[in-house]
Amino acid sequence: MLPVHIKEKLDNFFLEKEFAIVEANGKITLREKSKTGKAELVCTFDEESIVFLRPEQKVLPYLDTQKPGATSCADVFVFKKQKANDTFDLHMFEFKKTVNTTHYSKVKHQFTMGIYNARAIAGFLGMDLGKIYLYIGYRNDEMISNKNSSLISLRANNNLQSMANMKEWKTRECTLEIDKEKKIFVFEKIVLDEEGYGTIKVTTLER
C-alpha cells in the first residue's frame, strides 16, 4: 500500500484527472497526441504505482517560458513503489513518431527537465526516490537507417554529438547532466506499431 502521508496529499491537493494510482499487476493506457501523430501504450506494473499524466503541461510555474527549453518535460512520470520498502523508482516516458539524432538530443533534454520536475513532485509528496529509468516510444527508427553512410558523413563533418547519440541509442545508456554532474541512465526502446500502439510490462531495467 502507498504510505499514508502520500495518499493523503494526493487526495487533498492534486487534481484527480492529472494522476492515477495503479495497483500491483494493474494496467493503464498512456496516451500522447502531437502534430505528427498519436501514441497509445498499455503498461502493466509489477508493483503499486502513481502515474502522472501530461506533466509537460504542468511544469513548475516558476520557470521562464521565454527561455529556450526551460519548460521542456517528458510525457509521463511513473513513481513505482519498491517491493521491499517505501522507496519509489521513477520511470519516465517520452513518445516520438520518429527518432533521429536531432530528436534524440531533444528527448535527452526533455528527460533532464523531467527529472527536475519529477523531483519537485516527489519532494512535495515526501517521497523517497530510488533509481531512475527512461523509456522512449517510437514508430520509426532513423538512427540506424543508412547507418554506414551516416557514420561516414558524421565523421567527415566531425559531428561528435550525433555520433555520441548513435552510440547511446545502440547501448541504451544515455548520459544526462543533472545538477552539473554527468550521470548515465538506462533506457528502454519501445517500438510502437504503424498506428502508434504498443504494450510493455514495467519492471526493473538492469544491465
Gyration radius of the chain's alpha carbons: 17
In this prediction the pTM is 0.91
pLDDT at 151: 53
pLDDT at 162: 83
β-sheet with 87-99: strand ranges across? 19-22, 49-53, 76-81, 87-99, 128-141, 181-191, 173-178
Alpha-carbon distance of 157 to 68, in angstroms, equals 26
pLDDT at 34: 83
* Assigned C-alpha cell, 91: 520511470
**Pair type for strands 37-45 and 27-34:** antiparallel
| Widest Cα–Cα separation across the chain | 58
3-class SS of residue 93: strand
Q: Are 80 and 88 in contact (CB under 8 A)?
A: yes
pLDDT at 194: 94
3-class SS of residue 17: helix
Low-confidence ranges of the chain (pLDDT < 50): 146, 148-149, 156, 207
* Assigned C-alpha cell, 83: 517491493
